[in-house]
Amino acid sequence: MDMSTKSPARRIDSLAEVTGAYDAIFCDVWGVVHDGLTKKRPAEAALTAARQAGLKVVLLTNAPRPAAAVAGQLDSLGFSRDAYDAIVTSGDATGALLGELGGPVFHIGPARDFDLFEGLSLDKVDEERAHAVVATGLFDDETETPADYAEMLARLAARDLPMVCANPDIVVNRGDRLIFCAGALARDYEALGGTVRLAGKPHRPIYDLASRVVGGIDRSRILAVGDGLMTDVAGGNRFGIDVLLITEGIHGAELGGPDAASHTIAAMLAEKGLAANYLMADLQ
Q: Which residues pair with 165 in a beta bridge?
A: 135, 198
Percent of the chain with pLDDT over 90: 77
Find out whether 278 and 11 touch, Cβ atoms under 8 Å. Answer: yes
pLDDT at 72 over 70: yes
Name 166's Cβ contacts closer than 8 Å, sequence gap at least 6.
64, 90, 91, 94, 109, 113, 116, 134, 135, 136, 182, 199, 200
Into which CATH architecture does domain 3-91+201-280 fall? 3-Layer(aba) Sandwich (3.40)
In the prediction, which pLDDT does 36 show? Answer: 85
**Is residue 94 within 8 Å of 200, Cβ to Cβ?**
yes
Whether 3-91+201-280 and 93-198 share one fold: the answer is yes
Distance, CA of 83 to CA of 79 (rounded, Å): 8
Residue 4 clears pLDDT 50, i.e. is over it: no
Q: Would you state the pLDDT for residue 264?
A: 84
Distance CA 81, CA 106 (A): 35
Q: What is the CA radius of gyration of the chain?
A: 19
Mean pLDDT of all residues in the chain? 92
pLDDT higher than 50, residue 2: no
pLDDT at position 5, please? 43
pLDDT band at 6 (very low <50, low <70, confident <90, very high): low
Residue pair 189/196 in contact by the 8 Å Cβ criterion: yes
Q: What is the pTM of this model?
A: 0.86
The CA distances from residue 196 to 110, 138, 157, 163, 247, in Å, are 19, 16, 10, 5, 29
Q: Using CA atoms, how far apart are residues 212 and 208, in angstroms rounded to an integer? A: 6
pLDDT tens-digit profile of 179-222?
999 999 999 999 999 999 999 999 999 999 999 999 989 999 99
Do 40 and 32 form a contact (C-beta atoms < 8 A)? Answer: yes
Q: Is the pLDDT of residue 13 over 80?
A: yes
* Domain 93-198, CATH homologous superfamily name and number: HAD superfamily/HAD-like (3.40.50.1000)
Q: Average pLDDT of 105-114?
A: 95
Residue 250 near residue 173, CB atoms below 8 Å: yes
Dihedral, CA of residue 244, residue 172, residue 36 and residue 163, to nearest 10: 110
Q: Does residue 141 come out as left (phi exceeding 0), alpha (psi in the -120 to 50 range) or beta?
A: alpha
* Residue ranges with strand state E in the chain: 10-11, 24-27, 56-61, 86-89, 105-108, 132-135, 163-165, 171-174, 177-180, 196-198, 222-226, 242-246, 278-280
> If DSSP codes are grouped into helix, strand and coil, which group holds residue 165?
strand
**Domain spans of the chain?**
3-91+201-280, 93-198
- Please indicate whether residue 255 or residue 139 has the higher confidence score (pLDDT): 139
Does 24 have pLDDT greater than 70? yes
Do 123 and 104 contact (CB within 8 A), yes or no? Answer: yes
Confidence of residue 263 (pLDDT cuts 50, 70, 90): confident
Crossing angle between the packed helical segments 67-76 and 90-99, to the nearest 10 degrees: 150
**Based on the number of CB atoms within 10 Å of its own CB, is 127 exposed (0-12), middle (13-18) or buried (19 or more)?**
middle
Alpha-carbon gap, residue 209 to 219, rounded angstroms: 13
Is the pLDDT confidence value at 250 over 70?
no
Which band of pLDDT confidence, cut at 50, 70 and 90, is reported for residue 283? very high
